[in-house]
Amino acid sequence: MSVRAFTALKNLLLDLGYTGVFVFVDEFESIARLSPKNEQATLNSIRHLMDQNSDGLCMLFGCAPEVWQDVMSEYHAFSERIGQEVALRPLTAENLTELVEDYLQRERTTTDSGRAVRPFTEESLELILQRSQGNIRQVLSVCSRMLDEAATEDQTEISTEFAQELF
């Protein structure tokens, strides 16, 4: 019944002039926490949804690589319907610096004529990159925590030593 309802909604949107419906499914790796029976049922439901909506529907799944590989190898009926896979690469040191700089710049109230990643030192960013293994979510979480802790402790610099204490 839900597939029919979704299909009707998609067709209504297409009739109204939309070119397609995009469904973003993030944290798809949570499917691995389901019982095997429920995991199979969920994948079959998604497969059925895709089969019934081969035109005008684009689905994008965000998933941890290890879970995605398991799903693709175990559920061929589902994997056959996946048109393209894109693996995200870990951040490089340059990417990390740009990311932190951009996030900090959004909240700065004054123009910083010094280092754009201040209060982080280049060395502390190297440590963050190593510990996060280049995972963007982890980088942002760790940096946010460090900024909060630095503010609490009236630290003007997030050094390697300060970062190590928080790790």
158 pLDDT band, cuts 50/70/90, is: very high
- The pair of structure tokens assigned to 38 is 């429920």
166 pLDDT band, cuts 50/70/90, is: confident
Domain ranges of the chain: 2-79, 93-166
The answer to whether the CB of 97 falls within 8 A of the CB of 68 is no
pTM exceeding the 0.75 threshold for the entire prediction: no
The amino acid occupying position 134 is G
Residue 114 has a pLDDT of 58
Bridge-based pairing state of the strands 21-25 and 57-61:
parallel
CA distance 14 to 57: 10
Residues 50-99: pLDDT tens digits? 999 988 999 999 998 889 999 999 888 888 888 888 888 889 999 999 99
Judge whether residue 39 has pLDDT over 80.
yes
The answer to whether the CB of 91 falls within 8 A of the CB of 139 is yes
CA torsion, points 74, 77, 83, 84, in degrees to nearest 10? 0
Residue 111 has a pLDDT of 66
Instruction: Count Cα neighbours of 144 within 13 Å in the Cβ-side half-sphere.
Output: 7
Judge whether residue 149 has pLDDT over 70.
yes
Residue 110 has a pLDDT of 74
Mean pLDDT over the full length of the chain: 90
